[in-house]
Structure 1
Amino acid sequence: MITEKNLTEAEQLFTNVFKTEPAFISKAPGRINIIGEHTDYNFGLSMPCAINRWILVSFSPRNDNRMHVISHDFHEQLEIGMDEPYTPDNDWKKYVYGCIEIISALKKPEHGFNAFIQGNVPVGSGVSSSAALEVAFMNGLNELYNLQLDRLAIIKLCQRVEHEYLHVKSGLLDQYASQFSKANNFLVLDFQQMSHRYVSAALENHCWVLCNSMVARTLAGSKYTERVEETQQALKELKTYFPEVKHFRDIKEAHIPALKNPVHQKRIKHYVLENKRVEDSVLALQKNDLTRFGALLSASHISLRDLYEVSCTEIDFLMGQAVLLPYCLGSRIMGGGFGGCTINLVEKDKAKEFSTHIKSVYKKQFNRNAEINEYHAVDGASIILV
């Protein structure tokens, strides 16, 4: 939960800089993705939830046409006038500027604003600080200019920021989770229907532990785009062989051997089986079968490692060490890949022991310190009037 102390601090930081109180605070959480990885951009299934880490953006309107945005964590600022030429020089500015430009194209702003960004979503650790920033900022602009956009429209605009300003062909998983999550629940997302439902996140005496390998995901952007293109090429080829295949979700395992490129076979096999793992995970959770649920998590990792080929040596080591422990029911790589985190289903009373052990063996193997955090499912984005 965001506490009164968090909000008071946000108000005070804003007031210290801009010498006026904010009108409201836009809050958006980071996310973890339980299962259903690299499926969203191909209209598949995923099961994420928002986590107890947030980006807060405090806003107030101005009387002129200036737009002044300060990032507390990056110690930088962006200040522009409406219709003023501007080229962002780093990623956080691209996200913010992209939001401003896309909203301005929908309706020309009548006035400028001040905004102050702060948060505790770890950057670069696979829990999607970027989506939290987009969702918080886009919701804030919607509130500021009274645009009355619906919640789904807002996250689609956030996705445009990714595509047009970051040049990443991302799906909607991260933004969807940040916007629509509900405390103590997992979202079950269907990206073909663009719909969601909830399944209880009650895990009895288990919790989610994330192990950050601290390996920078330097290949993630280019390889992500490569995977998008590979799967699209595979679908195009299968359409020529099978009239019943019109969309990704029409592809069955029996269709896969027809693909001439063995790499394309592997990519599509992961996609088909990962969607089934999401469905099987829902059933396992409904039956409270956490052993089966954990096995599905580990099977997802093996598929992402061997078929989708988005893992790395350090991540494979973390996963392998985790599942050796009797109190860890399952483990897998999470996010875009090529570094980042593993997500682990661990007995609550063993979480500290798990952390100590994993840090020790990881340090010994790679002379690198892993960062380990425990998370739980929280509500999605909201506007808090000050």
Structure 2
Amino acid sequence: MALHRERWGVPDVLSRAPGRVNLIGEHTDYNDGFVFPMAIEFDTVVALSRAKSGSPSTVISEIFGEARRDDEREPITATHWAAYVFGVSHLLNGLGKSIGPWRCTIATDVPIGASLSSSAALEVAMARALLQLAGESWDATATAELCQRVEHEVVGMPCGIMDPLISAGAVRGHASLIDCRSLEMLPRRLPDGTVIAILDTMTRRELVDSAYADRRAACERAARWLSVAALRDAELDELERMPAELAVERRRARHVITENERTLAAATAMDAGDAAAFGALMNASHASLRDDYEVSGQALDAMVQIAHSSPGCIGARMTGGGFAGCAVALVAADAADDFIPAVQERYRAVSGLNASVWLSQPAAGASHIDSIGQHPE
């Protein structure tokens, strides 16, 4: 990385971690359920060097600028962009990892705030680099759990495990069915002749300031009323017993229960190479997120509707936390070149915005980079 060399010389460590797109299984991870994400071909890269003892830890982002932390006991401002970076270092030090002060630079092409998990990519890439610098072993699951702690304890975002786990542990060429209770990852290939399209509405949201925490709290209230550890354990017919005053909680629970069923059915469809069945499940997922979970939005609904009627689309839905950001579509590979301009033109006509549409094959999870542009499989 040129910026790191200019400021501090050749880095001691280079690491990368990808963003992700979730194909189906939304808002189920913090309910101990099932999700089906894949890593995407956008990365965050961290260049890291040791600093002299007593020096501040310093980070420079090509997008956000420079930040420093003079002492490990210094409070971390949760709303500052560098909280993700300093939070990883702080928690690793708390686990007894011998890291010491460091200097790092960050570059990324993961779109920020687009529901493609730019924060998890940053956390995982930073954790990968710091562990390498400290001579510690790398474990994808343990790293994902650490990064989830950063979100909970430092940033204040009560997210599930999906984002850091797929960023850390994805298998190239595969999406992964993840059991968010056991943390088992089961890689699956996309149906033959299909490609994933990521459709950026160019609208943005801040999840910490959104209704995300309210949705999680409603799920927890529903689980308590149903006397289950998590909504993963609830049955659909049990919701009929919930009283009228818990109508909101009933709808939230109905989404989670049916979304888990859809996600498992999607894995079966993918195993069978049944793209049409997988696409239908994506469509049903969007309707449930829109109507029962109420986390879609005008731009997302418009984008999904446009995708449905564009050449080669097999299925489409919003993806990520919701309210804004990206949708995802399963598209016939031989129609992808027609699908992209059709979506962009029609979305511009209804919204006045210039959508970005990318095609992506499933990428590999986090890795150490031996040299710029090269990393182990």
* Alignment TM class, shorter chain as reference: over 0.9
How much has 1:91 moved relative to structure 2?
A: 3.7
In the other structure, the counterpart of 1:252 is 235
Q: Equivalents in 1 of 2:206, 2:79: separation in Å? A: 15
CA contact (8 A) 1:207 1:375 kept: yes
How much has 1:246 moved relative to structure 2?
A: 4.0
CA contact (8 A) 1:215 1:339 kept: yes
TM (norm. structure 1) is 0.91
- Shift of the 263–123 alpha-carbon distance from structure 1 to 2, 3 Å rule, reads same
- Equivalent residue for 1:275, pick from 260, 272, 277: 260
Q: Equivalents in 2 of 1:156, 1:22: separation in Å? A: 27
Query: How big is the alpha-carbon RMSD for the aligned residues of Structure 1 and Structure 2?
Result: 1.7
Alignment of 1:318-337 (within 5 A): 318-325=303-310, 327-337=312-322
Matching residue's letter, 2:130? L
- Shift of the 246–117 alpha-carbon distance from structure 1 to 2, 3 Å rule, reads closer
Matching residue's letter, 1:356? P
How much has 1:109 moved relative to structure 2?
A: 4.1
TM (norm. structure 2) is 0.93
- Shift of the 79–91 alpha-carbon distance from structure 1 to 2, 3 Å rule, reads closer
Structure 1: stretches of 5+ with no match in the other structure: 1-9, 240-244
In the other structure, the counterpart of 1:232 is 220
In the other structure, the counterpart of 1:15 is 5
Mapped pair 1:126 → 2:115 = yes
- Equivalent residue for 2:66, pick from 46, 59, 77: 77
CA contact (8 A) 2:79 2:155 kept: no
In the other structure, the counterpart of 1:3 is none
In the other structure, the counterpart of 1:207 is 195
Q: Equivalents in 2 of 1:376, 1:105: separation in Å? A: 37
CA contact (8 A) 1:220 1:336 kept: no
- Shift of the 249–218 alpha-carbon distance from structure 1 to 2, 3 Å rule, reads closer
Q: Equivalents in 1 of 2:188, 2:198: separation in Å? A: 21
Q: Summarize deviations over 1:25-52 as a string: whole Å, max 9, x none.
A: 1110111111100000110000111111
How much has 1:363 moved relative to structure 2?
A: 1.6
Q: Secondary structure at the match of 1:121?
A: coil
In the other structure, the counterpart of 2:24 is 35
How much has 1:87 moved relative to structure 2?
A: 4.3
How much has 1:117 moved relative to structure 2?
A: 0.6
CA contact (8 A) 2:59 2:104 kept: yes
- Shift of the 246–30 alpha-carbon distance from structure 1 to 2, 3 Å rule, reads closer
In the other structure, the counterpart of 2:328 is 343
Structure 2: stretches of 5+ with no match in the other structure: 372-377
In the other structure, the counterpart of 1:362 is 347
Q: Secondary structure at the match of 1:92?
A: coil
Matching residue's letter, 2:201? S
Aligned residues: 368
How much has 1:224 moved relative to structure 2?
A: 0.6
Q: Equivalents in 2 of 1:113, 1:346: separation in Å? A: 44
Mapped pair 1:353 → 2:338 = yes
In the other structure, the counterpart of 1:7 is none
